[in-house]
Every structure is written in structure tokens, then in C-alpha cells.
Amino acid sequence: MERRSILQKSSAGLALLGVSALPFGLASFLTPERARAERNYLRPPGALKDDANFITACIGCGLCGEVCPPRCIKFHTRDGGTQVNTPYIDPTEKACILCDKCMDVCPTNALTKVARTKIDMGIARIDRTACFPWVDRGVCGACVTVCPLGKQGITFDFANIYRPVIKNGCVGCGLCVEVCPHPSTPIWIVERPTQSRST
């Protein structure tokens, strides 16, 4: 009788423990992936364009971050879902300098070697209601000065030599975002529209 009582209490205790642990065990499965940012969310240069394919191809080895001279490549950690250990760049913190080292060292096809002018990390976009020269609140041009592709990526407006204009040759490295002195950063990188790129 006493043995049966002990077994019943033990079973009840284990059942209670299992039920109480269930939410914690399922949390990782139920956590939705963080929504992809509309801007300033960049994969390293040469990354597969389809993000699902990139996540599948990337083995999370971290080599791209190891060889990155400006240390702009970071890795997802607690984003939930399948993005853990995959690389990304946030140019508001540190932008890509297009050195090609990450493409050279990647052991899979997640990053493939492409010419500098063919890199497609996105394209810069300027909020003309906030950019100092566009709202006549001063002269800047920092974004134009820092662009590694020169006039192919960004240049000044023909009608006003102080207002920056993004060109189709922009590869989305984000240096313009990093260098922008405006506190709200009126320039950012977005996904390139699905159309043929012309320079």
C-alpha cells in the first residue's frame, strides 16, 4: 500500500515537472524569427541573393568575420529560427570596405567571389526631407567623398552641387551610412528593386 502511494506521488510529481517544463522546452521552437529589417540589414558581399539559400549554404564557421579588416561582419545569436551564426553587417555601426577578403575565405557557396562593381548588397536611399543639403541646412557631401566607387555609386545633383544623388552603380556597402553626420541617418541601405541594373 505504502509502495503504491509512493509510486503515485512520484508519477504525479514527474508529470507536474514535465508540464511545467514544457513551455521552456517549446520556447525555441515557438520563437518567431526576427523580422528582416527594412534597412541597414546587409549580408556580406558575394552572398547568395535568396536569404533562405544563404542560410542553408552558410555553415556558421565565422571565417568571414575573422578576416574582415574593419570588423564590420557580425553574427546572429539569439534571433530565433535558422539565422543563428549567420553573418550580417550593420553599417550604422561599421560598414563594409569592399576588400573582398570574406569572399576569398568562405568555404561554401554562401559567399562567392564577384567583381567589386557586381557586388549587390543593396542600394543606398536618401531621405531628402532629412539630409542637410537637401533641406538647405548646410553643406555636407561626406557620403559622396567616402564612396569607394566614386561617381558610379553616388554623386552630386546636377542642379545643386551639394545635394547627393544615388546612382545605379551603388553596391550597398554602407560606407555612406557610417559616415553620415546627421543624428537620424537620412541615408540607409535597402534591397535593390527587382530590375536590371544599369550604371
pLDDT digits over 181-193, tens only? 877 789 999 988 8
Residue 20 binned pLDDT confidence (cut-offs 50, 70, 90): low
- Cα-atom radius of gyration of the chain, to the nearest Å? 24
Other Cβ atoms within 10 Å of 137 Cβ, number:
11
Instruction: Write the CB contacts of 45 (distance below 8 Å, at least 6 apart in sequence).
Output: 96, 98, 100, 102, 103, 111, 114, 119, 121, 171, 173
Q: Is the pLDDT of residue 3 over 70?
A: no
pLDDT digits over 102-117, tens only? 999 999 999 999 999 9
Instruction: Measure the CA angle with vertex 173, ends 165 and 87; round to 5°.
Output: 150
Report pLDDT for 31. Answer: 44
Report pLDDT for 6. Answer: 62
pLDDT digits over 110-165, tens only? 999 999 999 999 999 999 998 989 988 888 889 999 999 999 999 998 877 789 99
Residue 199 binned pLDDT confidence (cut-offs 50, 70, 90): very low
74 forms beta bridges with: 88
- What SS3 state is found at 191? coil
Q: What are the sequence ranges of the domains in the chain?
A: 51-190
What average pLDDT does this structure show over 11-17? 58
Rounded CA-CA distance 17/119 in Å is 53
pLDDT digits over 24-56, tens only? 444 444 444 454 445 567 999 999 999 999 999
What average pLDDT does this structure show over 14-23? 54
Which of 9-13, 64-68, 149-153 bottoms out in mean pLDDT, i.e. has the lowest? Answer: 9-13
Are the C-beta atoms of 189 and 42 separated by less than 8 Å?
A: yes
What average pLDDT does this structure show over 68-84? 85
Report pLDDT for 14. Answer: 59
Report pLDDT for 86. Answer: 93
Check residues 84 and 61 and name the one with the higher pLDDT.
61
Cell, residue 164? 547627393
Q: Is the pLDDT of residue 62 over 90?
A: yes
Q: What is the pTM of this model?
A: 0.75
